[in-house]
């Protein structure tokens, strides 16, 4: 059973079709990436999940049953555009928002003390939000988002504006949340974060789903029989031995080691490639090149855009 599902979601604004039958199924206890370029419809989709706006068509499900408005209380949502009250004191506001989520004052104070201590932000308690940097405000809102231990967490660009140290801190906390059983929908443009954090993804472009599945499976599906061989010896002799069933696409040197990148025939095994090179060189490394999520993202988005571009 999926913890959360959105099925065939359609949303229009006037004549603009923002979401065109988008479906996601989020298993319990994973980090699910919602990806797409600017204007793809991601934020609209997240706003629909949080009942901020309604779909024109489609249904939402939580734990196998139809999603109802009171289920919003079981969601923690960190929007890209942060929403703290600038004139309120940090501690006062954090406590107020925790109480809105149904927490008792004692429970909220206990958990806030724990998180403020963990993030070393106790000194901010009596400061006004407007006195804090953008990064500090994001830390506070992250704490508020997760404080009531919701079933489902939704993070929209949670690391935007953070320096590398604080981004790494929050990434570790997101992984810890998953380890402790949280289910997370994670929207980002940062494909490096997708590689580090996400188990499954859906990629939408121009309101449509164009790629979905487990990150590992997607990367394997998009590999193109590319390999890199590091060796010492005569590069010309190695290239000569590989030509035929392999296409040499790049060569470079690093100190005393030569590297050759090849695209091999699908019928050729790693042992076959190495057996061709070994008579003329000494192998120092042999790696299959698996595409990054950033490379896959660009590839599939550009392919869809080209398909939809009318000929002039």
pLDDT at 312: 45
Tell me what percent of the residues of the chain surpass a pLDDT of 70: 98
Mean pLDDT of the chain: 92
CATH number (domain holding residue 233):
3.30.70.1150
**CA pair distance 12, 145, nearest whole angstrom:** 29
- 45 shares its domain with 138: yes
Q: Which residues contact 221 (CB under 8 A, 6 or more apart)?
A: 213
**CA pair distance 162, 180, nearest whole angstrom:** 24
The pLDDT tens digits of the residues spanning 231-252 come to 999 999 999 999 888 999 999 9
**CA pair distance 150, 184, nearest whole angstrom:** 10
What average pLDDT score do residues 170-179 get? 94
The pLDDT tens digits of the residues spanning 260-294 come to 999 998 888 899 999 999 999 999 999 999 999 99
Establish if 301 belongs to a structural domain: no
The pLDDT tens digits of the residues spanning 16-33 come to 999 999 999 999 999 999
How many folded domains does the chain comprise?
2
For residue 311, pLDDT over 70 is answered with no
pLDDT at 92: 94
- 67 shares its domain with 137: yes
Whole-model pTM over 0.75: yes
* Residue 141, domain extent: 2-220
Q: Are 136 and 84 in contact (CB under 8 A)?
A: no
Establish if 268 belongs to a structural domain: yes
Establish if 295 belongs to a structural domain: no
DSSP string, the chain: -EEEEEEEEEEEETTEEEEEEEEEEEETT-EEEEE--TTSSHHHHHHHHTTSS--SEEEEEETTEE--GGGGGGEEEE-SS----TTSBHHHHHHHHHHHTT--HHHHHHHHHHHHHHTT-GGGTTSBGGGS-HHHHHHHHHHHHHTT--SEEEEESTTTT--HHHHHHHHHHHHHHHHTT-EEEEE-S-HHHHHHH-SEEEEEETTEEEEEEEHHHHHHHT--SEEEEEEEE-HHHHHHHHBTTEEEEEEEEETTEEEEEEEE-TT--HHHHHHHHTTTEEEEEEEE-PPPHHHHHHHHHHHHHHHHSPP-
What average pLDDT score do residues 250-255 get? 93
For residue 151, pLDDT over 50 is answered with yes
For residue 60, pLDDT over 50 is answered with yes
Establish if 119 belongs to a structural domain: yes
Establish if 267 belongs to a structural domain: yes
State the helix-helix crossing angle for 105-118 and 134-146, rounded to 10 degrees: 140
What average pLDDT score do residues 193-202 get? 94
pLDDT at 137: 87
For residue 195, pLDDT over 50 is answered with yes
- 80 shares its domain with 187: yes
Establish if 305 belongs to a structural domain: no
- 42 shares its domain with 160: yes
**CA pair distance 266, 203, nearest whole angstrom:** 28
The encoded tokens of residue 117 equal 């201590």
At 310, the pLDDT band (50, 70, 90 cuts) reads low
pLDDT at 83: 75
CATH number (domain holding residue 183):
3.40.50.300
- 59 shares its domain with 8: yes
pLDDT at 309: 57
- Name the residue with higher pLDDT: 292 or 1: 292
Cβ neighbours, 10 Å, residue 78:
21
pLDDT at 1: 76
For residue 94, pLDDT over 50 is answered with yes
Domain's final residue, options 220, 238, 264: 220
- Name the residue with higher pLDDT: 81 or 114: 114
- 246 shares its domain with 197: no
């Amino acid at each position: 059973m999926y913890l959360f599902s959105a099925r065939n979601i359609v949303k229009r604004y006037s004549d603009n079709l923002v979401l065109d039958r988008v479906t996601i199924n989020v298993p319990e206890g994973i980090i699910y990436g919602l990806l797409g370029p600017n204007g793809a419809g991601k934020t609209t989709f997240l706003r629909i999940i949080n009942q901020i706006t309604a779909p024109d068509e489609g249904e939402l499900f939580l734990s196998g049953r139809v999603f109802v408005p009171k289920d919003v209380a079981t969601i923690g949502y960190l929007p890209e555009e942060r929403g703290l009250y600038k004139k309120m004191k940090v501690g006062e506001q954090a406590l107020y928002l925790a109480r809105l989520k149904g927490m008792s004052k004692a429970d909220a104070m206990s958990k806030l003390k724990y998180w403020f201590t963990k993030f070393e932000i106790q000194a901010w308690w009596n400061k006004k939000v407007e006195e804090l940097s953008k990064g500090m405000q994001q830390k506070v809102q992250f704490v508020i988002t997760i404080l009531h231990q919701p079933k489902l967490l939704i993070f929209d660009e949670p690391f935007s504006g953070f320096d590398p140290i604080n981004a790494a801190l929050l990434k570790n906390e997101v992984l810890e949340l998953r380890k402790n059983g949280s289910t997370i929908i994670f929207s980002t443009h940062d494909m490096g974060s997708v590689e580090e954090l996400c188990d499954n993804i859906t990629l939408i472009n121009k309101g449509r789903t164009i790629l979905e599945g487990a990150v590992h499976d997607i990367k394997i599906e998009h590999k193109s029989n590319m390999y890199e061989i590091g060796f010492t010896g005569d590069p010309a002799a190695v290239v000569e031995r590989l030509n035929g069933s392999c296409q040499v696409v790049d060569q470079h040197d690093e100190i005393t080691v030569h590297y050759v990148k090849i695209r091999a025939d699908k019928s050729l095994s790693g042992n076959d490639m190495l057996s061709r090179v070994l008579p003329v060189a000494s192998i120092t490394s042999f790696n299959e090149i698996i595409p990054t999520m950033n490379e896959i993202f660009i590839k599939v988005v550009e392919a869809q855009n080209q398909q939809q571009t009318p000929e002039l």
